[in-house]
């Protein structure tokens, strides 16, 4: 029995983690691409200043926080010290809703916003600047 808990514990919250990370990246890249396309308008070669890229990245990060914090709360509960209370991801979500209400799914949103917005802004700035350098080094046209 103890070995089963160890194996189960290793994968506890896996479904919630996959759902959280998948939605996280989908939201970020959708928002970032949409903002970039809006900014460039009819000129796909228009350069974007790193400050604007950072602002767009922060917005994309904020959208991902609001879009997937409920999944992050579930994942955290599934992987925490109280994880034994939950049979699976759906059971965890239902128990949170029944016992704490819908607001519980957004616990930790404000601190997460500060960290994620800055993180995503920096990542997208670095990515865009590296792509610019690589395009100069390895010209494809």
Q: What is the CATH number of the domain that holds 41?
A: 1.50.40.10
Domain count for the chain? 1
pLDDT recorded at residue 1: 46
Q: Which residue has the tokens 């103890």?
A: 2
Alpha carbons 114 and 128: distance in angstroms, whole number: 22
Domain around 107: 2-137
Residue 82 has pLDDT above 50, yes or no: yes
Please compute the mean of the pLDDT values over residues 117-131 and round it to a whole number: 95
């Amino acid at each position: 029995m103890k070995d089963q808990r160890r194996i189960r514990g290793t994968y506890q919250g896996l479904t919630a983690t996959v759902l959280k990370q998948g939605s996280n990246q989908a939201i970020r890249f959708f928002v970032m691409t949409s903002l970039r396309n809006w900014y460039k308008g009819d000129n796909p070669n228009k350069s974007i200043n790193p400050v604007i890229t950072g602002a767009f990245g922060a917005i994309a990060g904020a959208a991902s926080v609001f879009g997937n914090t409920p999944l992050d709360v579930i994942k955290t509960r599934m992987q925490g010290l109280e994880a034994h209370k939950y049979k699976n991801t759906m059971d965890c979500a239902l128990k949170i809703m029944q016992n704490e209400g819908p607001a519980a799914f957004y616990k930790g949103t404000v601190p997460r916003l500060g960290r994620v917005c800055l993180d995503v802004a920096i990542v997208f700035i670095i990515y865009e600047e590296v792509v610019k350098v690589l395009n100069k080094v390895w010209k494809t046209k």
